[in-house]
A and B are shown apart, each in its own frame.
Chain A
């Protein structure tokens, strides 16, 4: 079946589910969603408890040869700091640094030309990040290669912590904990919590069961030989990092996460830029899920096929369901309020407005339990990221917990519709 037709079918099914849910008692939808959410979080927590040492760094005993590939496009604002951070990373052997300038039109190319101890590849025109990385990979002869974004600033111990995982021949890629570099802005603070929980706890647990659904773009270390087997990055893919992540696992390599290796990266500083970035992420996520649909419910891909991929997709659809139903409830509420005002002026008959509260305690209790699990999961993720609570962060934490999921879902719905309609997507740089 055609890809866009499949998306339209899924979209229709979710719309029918939302419409149909209004013919069922509310508690059926509430209990189903709560049950699904609590079940998934319990699974996550059990997996977490099962592998408490997951991602803990080991001592670097063998130091394989290593090259770094940095794709740079109009990165004058960030490249200097990025190179400084990259050069400051400790490693027992000499590390080769290859910077691929992807047809920059700002001053970054000229600046890079003057830098010592780097190899600069100059692309005649802008061809995209995946293409630039492939150009860099073609020059690499070392055993390991780290692909780094030009707006990313790894901590000095990142190589020491990540490289030892590559002792295992089954591991194809290793990555760390990505966190926003700048956290003064409110939007960036909210993203910090998202990254800390998502790249930290979430990815670490998925890594422990071999169920990672992507590799983070800012910094990942790969086995070079693996690329010979599976090919380089896909230049036509909106999210080349997710695509390569699935391709790595489709070739039965594993992806490992070490949340103790902290990598700072630039993140969008306003909601509009964030929405554009997420549009690309979510469209890429939907596209790649269907591109690699043979992994789903395929026994040879274990938890990736039976849990991560279907669960993530179901979670997103559940979000769309809740969001859709909530919107309709709010619309009903507004209509009823208008009706009430009309009749109140008219006379003694009244239809009262609906309130977004429930009569039975059972409903409250299930919501409280589901939220408790979410908060516990959130707290665990933050503690894993060594976050120390500050009173000033309270608004950002509350927004992350209660409002940000609505933003994410709204963006997801928009992206899904754009993908379904086949709208052309543009690779957006996030913060330049």
Chain B
């Protein structure tokens, strides 16, 4: 009988774990749906803000809190992803995909707002667009990222807006690529120039006036 206690305890523990897992999955799905709802809401807001900016040139003072709010959104989304990755949680889950998507929407919102602000508004942010390909073996990408890190360290006002070049069902990225004539990736967009090959870091910094 005593020996079977270990066996019964093992079975009970497995049952407890399975029950908890089922219960938690329901909770997780609810959480994912909430994130999805927030994502849709954010996408709508992004489109609304972009449309408003295109129609009605707001003043710098009016835009400043909006940019601040969008920056915070970007930080929050990035924080979520960092936490997810730092805690070694499962990266293949829909929740992680949604978090990444949410981050993408947040940085796109910020980029579009900055793009549409009057040129005399100085928010202390110099945007650089970076489109990266969906492939793991990319030496050019590695070099570009290394250069961008160097530039960011030297020029604190530079902010890199990195987008996958072919995100599923995310039209704004395609529109941006078409707008700047980006046909291959990786690609850097500095002002109106598109760079798809490795350039000297000094040259890149000169183009950014930093």
Shortest distance in angstroms between A43's beta carbon and chain B's nearest beta carbon?
4
Interface of B is mostly: helix
- A346 partner residues in chain B, CB cutoff 8 A: 156
Shortest distance in angstroms between B117's beta carbon and chain A's nearest beta carbon?
15
- A360 partner residues in chain B, CB cutoff 8 A: 24, 28, 31, 89-90, 93, 95
**Stretch of B4-12, B176-184, B194-202 at the chain-chain interface:** B4-12
Most buried by B among A350, A357, A358: A350
- A229 partner residues in chain B, CB cutoff 8 A: none
A248 to B139, CA, bound (A): 69
Most buried by A among B76, B82, B84, B87: B87
CB proximity to B under 8 Å, residues A206-254: 209
A31 to B90, CA, bound (A): 13
A369 to B17, CA, bound (A): 9
Q: Does any Cβ of B come within 8 Å of A359's Cβ?
A: yes
On whether the beta carbons of B23 and A50 are closer than 8 Å, the reply is no
For chains A and B in complex, what number of residue pairs have CB atoms within 8 angstroms?
113
**When each residue 41-76 of chain A gets 1 if its CB lies under 8 Å from chain B and 0 otherwise, what string results?**
011001100100000000000000000000000000
- A355 partner residues in chain B, CB cutoff 8 A: 83
- A44 (CB) vs chain B CBs: closest residue: B9
Q: Does any Cβ of B come within 8 Å of A303's Cβ?
A: yes
Q: Does any Cβ of A come within 8 Å of B48's Cβ?
A: no
Q: Does any Cβ of B come within 8 Å of A35's Cβ?
A: yes
A312 to B84, CA, bound (A): 33
- B4 (CB) vs chain A CBs: closest residue: A46
- B84 (CB) vs chain A CBs: closest residue: A359
- B23 partner residues in chain A, CB cutoff 8 A: 365
A159 to B27, CA, bound (A): 55
Q: Does any Cβ of A come within 8 Å of B159's Cβ?
A: yes
**Stretch of A19-27, A190-198, A386-394 at the chain-chain interface:** A19-27
- A332 (CB) vs chain B CBs: closest residue: B86
Given A35-B17, A42-B13, A352-B78, do A25 and B8 touch, yes or no (CB 8 Å)? no
| Sample of 17 more A-B contacts, CB < 8 Å, known A361-B28, A362-B28 | A35-B17, A38-B16, A39-B10, A39-B13, A46-B9, A47-B5, A209-B2, A302-B2, A303-B2, A350-B78, A352-B78, A354-B87, A357-B83, A359-B83, A365-B23, A366-B17, A369-B16
Residues on B lying within 8 angstroms of A by beta carbon are 1-2, 5-6, 8-10, 12-13, 16-17, 20-21, 23-25, 27-28, 31, 71, 75-76, 78-80, 82-84, 86-90, 93, 95, 124-125, 152, 156-159
